[in-house]
Amino acid sequence: MGTGKSKHLVVISYDAFSEDNWEKASKLPNLSKLIKNGAYSTKLKSVYPTLTYVVHTTMVTGVYPDKHGIYHNNPLQPFINEKEQSWFWFKKDIKVPAVYDALKKHRMKSAGILWPVTGKASIRYNIPEIRAIKNENQALKILKNGSPFFSIGMEKKFGHLRRGIEQPYLDNFTTRIAVDTIKRKKPNLLLMHLIDLDDAKHEHGTDSLEIEKVLIRMDQRLGDIIEAVREAGLEEDTVFLVLGDHGQINVRYKVRLNQLLKEEGLIYEEKGEMKWRAYIQNAGGAAYLHVKDNDTEAELLALDIIKKAMTEECYGIERLYNRKELDNYQVASSVGYMLEAKAGFCFEDSLDGPVVTDLEELGIKYATHGFSPNKPEYKCVLVISGACIKKEYQLGEVNMVDIAPTIASILGIDFYNCDGKSLNEIFR
């Protein structure tokens, strides 16, 4: 083990915190304090597709999706309503070590509060982000896949603050747990996931008044966490790392391309059961084309349908990537083809309703993510602050794979040779 820059690190995933929020957020009292005492970038480049579980796995492993294996929030589950689908909730699905695994080796304490893909992970104090589906019991599912005594204790203390996944209650609950954990457990690494901003953008669009309210709430939560560190007497020994995982883009049209595949018989019903030879799995502003193994005929037909749809403006398809092109993006190798939506469009799996829905006509405001990290004005924000970090130090473009090796450097732990590099230029 090398010598660490700091004994404690608090990582706050500020879901959907992107460059378009910087001007307002950077003027708020608590974030501005962190910026003044630290390094920052408004050009943190995410991974493809820009989905929460894909990105959060990269944050803690330092590798792209082609190596860590989490290619989407959800494994492929055709014809199952999104609300009833399983997600990549469990650590076993990640193919490489995470930074908290390295911490365990060094006998250092880690805590995770609603961090994605951490079910049954080697995190000492763990409340994984996990949801009950079908007839499951939410509390039991968390106890089974997290740290039971820690989870029960936090639920007893703060469960009354939560109203399911409704905001601002969920993030208030997460923040209170973080405050309590910092004071009582003093973990070397705390990973926490706050979702209020992401929810607000999805629901109201990226430029609504609601966003301003959320930025203020988020800053207050940051303040609570900074104060907890101070009260625990860890101020000099703690680094704060605040980062967004993706931006969002306003959407007017929802496009259901599976209906085009169904019209050509690639999705069909047999003995009352839906079957597929080719299927489009949406990733918001992107989508995967899945084809049954060795069905070359279905592959050619599906590509033909998509290429034809690309000539029509109404479907909003910007690009169709083949496997060779996806290698450049380091997209999971199980995927043969990927579609990118134009700004203003997104994809859906559903076989119900019209092929294209105009949300504006329905008076609905909506934004989403999943788009290519190369989309303009779509970068994320990163702030790293603490006694060992240069003050008001502006970083240029940073890659999401750089986060895990930087975490390892701050805490002085050995980490395997991953795709990213430690941002050593931030240290004093």
Identify which of 144, 143, 119 has the alpha carbon closest to the alpha carbon of residue 129: 119
Q: Is the pLDDT of residue 1 over 70?
A: no
Q: Is the pLDDT of residue 251 over 80?
A: yes
In this prediction, residue 20 has a pLDDT band, given cuts at 50, 70 and 90, of very high
pLDDT for residue 139:
86
Quote the strand ranges of 262-399, DSSP E: 267-270, 273-276, 278-282, 286-291, 317-321, 337-341, 344-347, 356-358, 367-368, 380-385, 393-394, 398-399
Question: Which CATH number is 8-247+377-426's, of 3.40.228.10, 3.40.50.2000, 3.40.720.10, 2.60.40.1260?
Answer: 3.40.720.10
Q: Is the pLDDT of residue 135 over 90?
A: no
Domain ranges of the chain: 8-247+377-426, 250-368
Our CA angle for 192, 343, 299, nearest 5°, is 95
Q: Is 321 helix (H, G, I), strand (E, B) or coil?
A: strand
In this prediction, residue 134 has a pLDDT band, given cuts at 50, 70 and 90, of confident
Q: How far apart are CA 44 and CA 378, in angstroms?
A: 9
Q: Are 371 and 284 a contacting pair, CB within 8 Å?
A: yes
Q: Is the pLDDT of residue 378 over 90?
A: yes
Q: How far apart are CA 214 and CA 347, in angstroms?
A: 27
Q: Is the pLDDT of residue 209 over 90?
A: yes
pLDDT for residue 346:
98
> Using alpha carbons only, how large is the chain's radius of gyration in Å?
22
Q: Is the pLDDT of residue 2 over 60?
A: no
| Pairing of β 356-358 and β 189-194 | unpaired
In this prediction, residue 194 has a pLDDT band, given cuts at 50, 70 and 90, of very high
pLDDT, the chain, mean: 97
Where is 56: in which H helix or E strand? helix 52-61
In this prediction, residue 185 has a pLDDT band, given cuts at 50, 70 and 90, of very high
Query: What is the average per-residue pLDDT within 316-341?
Result: 96
Two tokens, residue 374: 């190369």
What are the CA-CA distances from residue 334 to residues 63, 71, 76, 331 (Å)?
16, 9, 11, 9
Tell me: the pLDDT tens digits for 220-239? Answer: 999 999 999 999 999 999 99
Angle, to 10 degrees, between the axis of helix 196-204 and the axis of helix 209-231? 180
pLDDT for residue 78:
97
Q: Is the pLDDT of residue 330 over 50?
A: yes
The neighbour count for residue 359, using CB atoms within 10 Å, is 16
Tell me: the pLDDT tens digits for 257-302? Answer: 999 999 999 999 999 999 999 999 999 999 999 999 999 999 999 9
Q: Are 390 and 410 a contacting pair, CB within 8 Å?
A: no
Query: What is the average per-residue pLDDT within 318-340?
Result: 96
The neighbour count for residue 219, using CB atoms within 10 Å, is 18
pLDDT for residue 327:
97
Q: Is 18 helix (H, G, I), strand (E, B) or coil?
A: strand
pLDDT for residue 160:
95
Query: What is the average per-residue pLDDT within 191-208?
Result: 98
Q: How far apart are CA 312 and CA 345, in angstroms?
A: 13
Tell me: the pLDDT tens digits for 75-100? Answer: 999 999 988 999 999 999 999 999 99
- Burial zone of 256 (CB within 10 Å; 0-12 exposed, 13-18 middle, 19+ buried): buried
pLDDT for residue 297:
98
Q: Is the pLDDT of residue 356 over 80?
A: yes
pLDDT for residue 3:
78
Percent share of the chain, pLDDT over 90: 96
Query: What is the average per-residue pLDDT within 155-163?
Result: 94
Where is 87: in which H helix or E strand? none
Among 21-30, 133-142, 229-238, where is mean pLDDT lowest? 133-142
CATH C-level class of 250-368: alpha beta
Q: Is 17 helix (H, G, I), strand (E, B) or coil?
A: coil
